Amino acid sequence: MSTLLVNRKMSPELRARVEASVTGRRHGSGSRLAPRATMVLRVVALTSIVATLVWLVSTKRRADQETEALRSSLIERSARAAHGLTEQELAIAKRAASWLKREAQAYSGDLVTPRAASLALLSGLLKQPTVYVRGPLAELDNSQGLERSARESAKDAFVLCLLDPPTGRSEKAILARAKSAYAAGERMQQATGHITRLGDAYAGLPFLQAAWRERIAQVEQHQTLVELAKSFDRAPLDAAREALKSRLLLFAIDEAGERAAVSELDGEKPHSVRVGLIDLSSGQPLLRLRRRVDPSSLSEATRAEYARGVDDCSLALDVRQAVTES
């Protein structure tokens, strides 16, 4: 196609560029895509964009559904685990803290109520579901110290010998029972199976309360819910329920060791221990005693490994003797 913009005086190369510009042809070997090919490319690009958007929306919807399913599951599991627990039972940790703080103040004297005034009556009380805690005097006069002691304390020779005493007070008999407590074997399980740890109540309580379910309802991040689910799965909920359902609180409070005394390998040294039994429904103490333990009279071999266990068992025998003399 000729154009008025070129003339014969122009060089062939310049004339070709001008004609190409006017006619739409590109200089060189390239060429424009055909209209149909251009349309196909546009359709493919648009389809890809739409498919990507659909995939993103679908993925987010699926993630949201998974998050809501996990949220609902956690709330439902917590509610089911807490079913049947009263407000009074769920408040056991707070109530126990108040009572034990009172018992950790200046000692108010021995007390044996009519409900615990004989071995038969005491044994009858101790057959009821009971929660146990033991800790040093300096810890049990505040909530944080109580929780720390509760989580660390376990059923010991004091508990075993209180419920299943040895046949006599000889070192051999007491040592045998202390060894049974250390082994935590069949004898320990049979005698103290209904005794739970206050520490289990502390460990499981947060997952049983309405406040935890309210927190779950407000969490937005899926990963946060996943971590909370893992914590829920690790919590000792069965043991916590059992502890919260207890009727009695059994405690042992260790006073500071005598300064001049030498500590044994397990840390035991002469000191006084406050023991007691509290009715969880009323908060009234049923039994309160203070007795001194001293491992110094034990044989060297026994002191080396079982000083605390033997002292604990001897303490339990002192408690049993006290109720017979009341």
Could you read off the pLDDT of 170-226 as tens digits, one per residue? 999 999 999 999 999 999 999 999 999 999 999 999 999 999 999 999 988 889 999
What band does 14 get if pLDDT is binned at 50, 70 and 90?
Answer: low
> Is a pLDDT exceeding 80 seen at residue 23?
no
Is the separation of the CB atoms in 279 and 247 below 8 Å?
yes
Domain range summary for the chain, segments of one domain joined by +:
87-202+235-325
Mean pLDDT, range 17-38, rounded to an integer: 59
Secondary structure element (H or E) that encloses residue 318, with its range: helix 300-325
pLDDT at 123: 94
Mean pLDDT, range 53-78, rounded to an integer: 79
What band does 259 get if pLDDT is binned at 50, 70 and 90?
Answer: confident
The CA–CA distances, whole Å, from 196 to 93, 172, 293 equal 14, 28, 25
> Is a pLDDT exceeding 50 seen at residue 29?
no
> Is a pLDDT exceeding 80 seen at residue 6?
no
> Is a pLDDT exceeding 80 seen at residue 44?
no
What band does 143 get if pLDDT is binned at 50, 70 and 90?
Answer: confident
Q: In what order do the strands lie in the sheet with 248-254?
A: 111-112, 285-293, 271-279, 248-254, 130-136, 195-197
What band does 27 get if pLDDT is binned at 50, 70 and 90?
Answer: very low
Radius of gyration of the chain (CA): 39
Mean pLDDT, range 114-119, rounded to an integer: 95
Mean pLDDT, range 74-103, rounded to an integer: 92
Share of residues in the chain with pLDDT > 70 (%):
85
